Structure formats: C-alpha cells, structure tokens
C-alpha cells in the first residue's frame, strides 16, 4: 500500500481524514465525492506565509491564493479567515473572492482579455488591476475617468529568461523554458510595455503601484526562480528609468507555479524529481529579488511581496472518494479483474489508460490490509477509462471505497457532464465535523440550460419528473 501524508491516518482498519472516518463520509454523503481538509488548508497557508514573511523583513508578504485551484466559496472563506489574499481571473473568480469575504485590498484582478466590465468593477471596488495588454491601460483610464476615481494598476511582465539557455520545460521537454515563457499569451509583450510607461506617467487616472509576473510550473529547480526573478528586475529597472523620480514598485508579485510534492501534474511531462521545500523556494525568491533590486539601485523598503500559490496551497488538502459497484473477473481468455467504480476520468482530470496509478490511493475500508492482487480500477462513463491498470490492492468487493489522494487542486473545477452525468459535490472536514460546501449536481442541473425551440415542442410523450 502507498505511504501518504497528513491529515490522513489509519484507525481500526479505516482511513481517516482529520478525525472523520472516510468510510462513514462515503456512506453519509454518497460517492463520488470530493473531500477537503480545513486543517491542512490552514496549515499550508501558514507554512507559505511564514516561509516568506521570515525572509522578507523589508515589508509585508501577502499570499494571494489562486482561486482557480479550488473556486468554492467556503474553501475561500477558510483562507480569508486566516488572512490570505487572492488572485482572480475573470468575473466568476472575482465573484468567488467577494462571496468568500476577501477584503478588496487583498484581491488582484488578473488574467488576459479583460473587458471594460471587470475593469470598471475592480476600480469601483478599489481593487488593483493587473494589466495584460496596452488595451487594458486605455480601458482603465477611460473607466477611471468616468467613475472619477483613480485606478491602481500593476503591470504583468514577461521576463526574458535567456540565461537559462536550453533548459527544457517540464511541460514539453522538447521546448525551452526561455521560449515557452515568451511564446505564452499572458503578460504584456515587452515591446508593447515599454511605450506604455510614459503614458502611465502622464496619466491622471492611473497609479502604477506594482509589478507582476507569473510563469506556469515549468521547473522545480532553483535556477528557474532565480532567472525569473532576476529578469523581472531587469524589466522593473527599465520601467523605473521611464517613470523617473527614483520610482520603485510598492508591490511585486512573483505569481504561482511552485510545485506541490504530491501533485498529479497530469499536464506536466517531467515529474521524476523532487520539489524543493517551501522554505527553500522562499529563500531563493527573496534573496535573488533583494540582491537584484540592490544591484539595480532600486529600493525595497516597505515593498509588499506577493506570491500566488494554487496547487501548492490546495493539492494535499483534498481526497476523492469512489465506491466499487461491480467486480468482474475474466478467466477464459486472460486473467483480469475489473473493479467498476462510480467515479470517472472526467471527474479526476486523468487520461483513459493509466498504466501507473495517477494518484496515491487507499481502499478506505481495508486501509490496513496488504495488497494481494492486481486489478484494473475503472470508471463509470462509456470511455475506455482504465483509471488504474493492474493496481495492487487487497481483495476487492462491491461496496469497497477507493480514496484517491492529493486531489485538492485543479481537479474539481475541471469536472464535466460527459454522459450527462451530474458532477460530484464537495465536503469540508474540520476535525470530527463534515459539511457540504458544494452540493452534488442533480439531473435537473445537468439539463438546466437546455432550451427546446417551439417547432420541436410536443415531440414524443411528455417526460414525467
């Protein structure tokens, strides 16, 4: 059986998540089910915050949890209660931030292709806008003028990491990090950013408060962060020169992209090396940033340093539960056992044939039993969906509960309604307590947006609900 991390434990043969018996959770709330640990989420936030705060005496540190990793209101409220800010992308995520009680000064409105509506809303609420193109500067100026209220803006930059040479990206090992971080759509192209500086300087409607960058999880190596931060400061220097008056940013965000040790990382090709600790990461980022700012004669006094973890904050906070409904055994042609479960690849963000288990897993009601056989754990849709091929398990029977571990980030938000399946709900465990934080969908939810034009009405017998 696989080893696993806190807040999981085995008690009386059952898997526990915090102080909740996972088998009882499956019984009470049904399966498939996403489950999140409040304690783990709180712990992750404070680890992150403390790692940076203790290394950044120059000013405050604000952890801006990326809402996209788990955009559920109650999950966000846990983080808000602890003092965590947030990075949002688009109107939907801004709404989660507001419903999640995040103070407006702790919200960043990020993302590409922002329209007037979101820019106006951000300015109205006093939220700083992270610009992704020159068009957004125009929108900010125009909307700020209409509102008679100055907009606080941050520029999202694209550091040119050419000192990394041919260092490959873990996403696509035949592409370099340097190339991928330039070819990606996000951020203001440097050639378009530099001419924005005099415009910003002259504007009476925008106030340049900070600088931002975010690169996806291209690498876990220290050299990646060193290069990102050093080359970010190269751009900050150019902006400072353009702004004059010894301009220095009040806020600098180095984005997210820090790996979670147990992440599934289904979109990352190279995963076979370890993540640094959060402390190592914080050390690399803060020392590189401090040194580079000093070398360039830029002040860091009172500078608010922001980090935007998504996967690193949420990944290990979640487990996903599925029940075995049918066990089939072929012996005539080959020797094969299938455990048919009620979850799916479309609820777990995995491919159809998983030769090595994409997750650590535990059979929750047989958590202390040794593996005695190898079976295929398959899903409920009409896809091929072999979620785990020849996975070692104790003897499996209908009713057994599989717990897939470390499913807290970027999994639930990607679920879809393939085969017209209602999507699973989410439960938050807090010690001995467990509460719904997102109810499971019903068939009415699945068909809730369907519309039947008049000429198709009355075809077939009326469907009784």
Ligand X SMILES: Cc1ncc(COP(=O)(O)O)c(C=O)c1O
Q: Which residues bind ligand X (CB under 6 A)?
A: 66, 68-69, 87, 110, 214, 216-217, 255-258, 308-312
Give how far Cα 60 sits from Cα of 218, 228, 410, 456, Å: 27, 21, 28, 61
Using CB atoms within 10 Å of the CB of residue 459, give its burial: 0 to 12 exposed, 13 to 18 middle, 19+ buried.
exposed
Q: How far is the CB of 275 from ligand X (least distance, A)?
A: 12
Q: How far apart are CA 301 and CA 248, in angstroms?
A: 9
Give how far Cα 300 sits from Cα of 247, 278, 289, Å: 11, 22, 9
Using CB atoms within 10 Å of the CB of residue 296, give its burial: 0 to 12 exposed, 13 to 18 middle, 19+ buried.
middle
Using CB atoms within 10 Å of the CB of residue 17, give its burial: 0 to 12 exposed, 13 to 18 middle, 19+ buried.
buried
Q: Token digits for 39?
A: 């304690």
Using CB atoms within 10 Å of the CB of residue 353, give its burial: 0 to 12 exposed, 13 to 18 middle, 19+ buried.
middle
Sign for the CA dihedral angle at 113, 115, 121, 124 comes to positive
Q: Strand runs (DSSP E) across 235-372, as ranges?
A: 251-253, 304-307, 318-330, 336-341, 361-363
Q: How far is the CB of 292 from ligand X (least distance, A)?
A: 21
Q: What is the dihedral of CA 110, 112, 114, 119, to 10 degrees?
A: 30
- Name the residue nearer to ligand X (CB basis): 67 or 233: 67
Q: How far is the CB of 242 from ligand X (least distance, A)?
A: 24
Q: How far is the CB of 214 from ligand X (least distance, A)?
A: 4
- Name the residue nearer to ligand X (CB basis): 267 or 433: 267
Using DSSP, how many helices (H) and how many strands (E) does the chain show? 14, 20
Say whether 286 sits in a helix, a strand or coil. Answer: helix
- Name the residue nearer to ligand X (CB basis): 220 or 230: 220
Q: How far is the CB of 301 from ligand X (least distance, A)?
A: 26
Q: How far apart are CA 48 and CA 85, in angstroms?
A: 12
Q: How far is the CB of 171 from ligand X (least distance, A)?
A: 11
- Name the residue nearer to ligand X (CB basis): 154 or 364: 154
Q: How far is the CB of 181 from ligand X (least distance, A)?
A: 13
- Name the residue nearer to ligand X (CB basis): 228 or 337: 228
Q: How far is the CB of 41 from ligand X (least distance, A)?
A: 14
- Name the residue nearer to ligand X (CB basis): 64 or 387: 64
Q: How far is the CB of 332 from ligand X (least distance, A)?
A: 47
- Name the residue nearer to ligand X (CB basis): 66 or 211: 66
- Name the residue nearer to ligand X (CB basis): 143 or 308: 308
- Name the residue nearer to ligand X (CB basis): 68 or 220: 68
DSSP state of 310: S
């Amino acid at each position: 059986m696989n080893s696993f991390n806190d807040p999981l434990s085995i008690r009386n043969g059952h898997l526990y998540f915090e102080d909740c018996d996972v088998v009882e959770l499956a019984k009470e709330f049904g399966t498939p089910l996403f489950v999140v640990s409040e304690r783990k989420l709180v712990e992750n936030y404070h680890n992150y915050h403390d790692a940076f705060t203790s290394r950044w005496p120059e000013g405050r540190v604000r952890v801006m949890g990326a809402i996209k990793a788990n955009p559920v209101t109650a999950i966000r409220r846990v983080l808000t209660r602890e003092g965590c800010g947030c990075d949002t992308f688009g109107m939907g995520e801004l709404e989660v931030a507001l419903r999640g009680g995040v103070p407006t000064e702790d919200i960043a409105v990020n993302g590409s292709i922002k329209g007037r509506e979101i820019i106006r809303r951000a300015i109205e609420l006093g939220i700083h806008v992270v610009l992704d193109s020159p068009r957004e500067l125009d929108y900010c100026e125009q909307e700020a003028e209409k509102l008679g209220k100055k907009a606080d803006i941050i520029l999202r930059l694209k550091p040119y990491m050419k000192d990394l040479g041919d260092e490959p990206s873990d996403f696509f090992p035949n592409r370099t990090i340097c190339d991928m971080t330039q070819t990606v759509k996000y951020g203001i192209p440097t050639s378009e950013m530099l001419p924005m500086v005099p415009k910003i300087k002259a504007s009476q409607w925008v106030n340049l408060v900070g600088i931002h960058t975010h690169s996806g999880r291209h690498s876990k190596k220290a050299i990646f962060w060193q290069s990102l931060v050093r080359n970010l400061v190269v751009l900050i220097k150019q902006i400072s020169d353009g702004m004059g008056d010894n301009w220095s940013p009040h806020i600098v965000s180095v984005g997210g992209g820090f790996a979670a040790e147990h992440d599934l990382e289904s979109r990352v090709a190279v995963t076979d090396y370890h993540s640094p600790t959060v402390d190592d990461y914080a050390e690399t980022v803060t020392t590189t940033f401090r040194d580079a700012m000093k070398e360039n004669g830029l002040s860091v006094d009172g500078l608010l340093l922001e980090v935007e973890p998504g996967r690193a904050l949420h990944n290990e906070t979640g487990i996903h539960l599925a029940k075995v409904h049918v066990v089939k055994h072929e012996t005539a042609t080959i020797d094969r056992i299938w455990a048919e479960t009620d979850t799916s690849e479309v609820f777990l963000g995995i491919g159809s044939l998983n030769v090595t288990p994409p997750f650590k897993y535990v059979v929750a009601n047989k958590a202390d039993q040794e593996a005695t056989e190898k079976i295929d754990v398959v899903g409920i849709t009409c896809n091929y969906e072999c979620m785990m091929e020849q996975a070692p398990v104790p003897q499996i029977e209908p009713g057994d509960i599989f717990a897939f571990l470390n499913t807290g980030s970027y999994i639930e938000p990607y679920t879809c309604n393939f085969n017209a399946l209602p999507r699973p709900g989410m439960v938050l465990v807090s010690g001995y307590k467990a509460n719904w934080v997102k109810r499971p969908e019903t068939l009415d939810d699945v068909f809730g947006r369907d519309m039947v034009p008049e000429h198709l009405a009355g075809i077939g017998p009326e469907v009784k609900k």
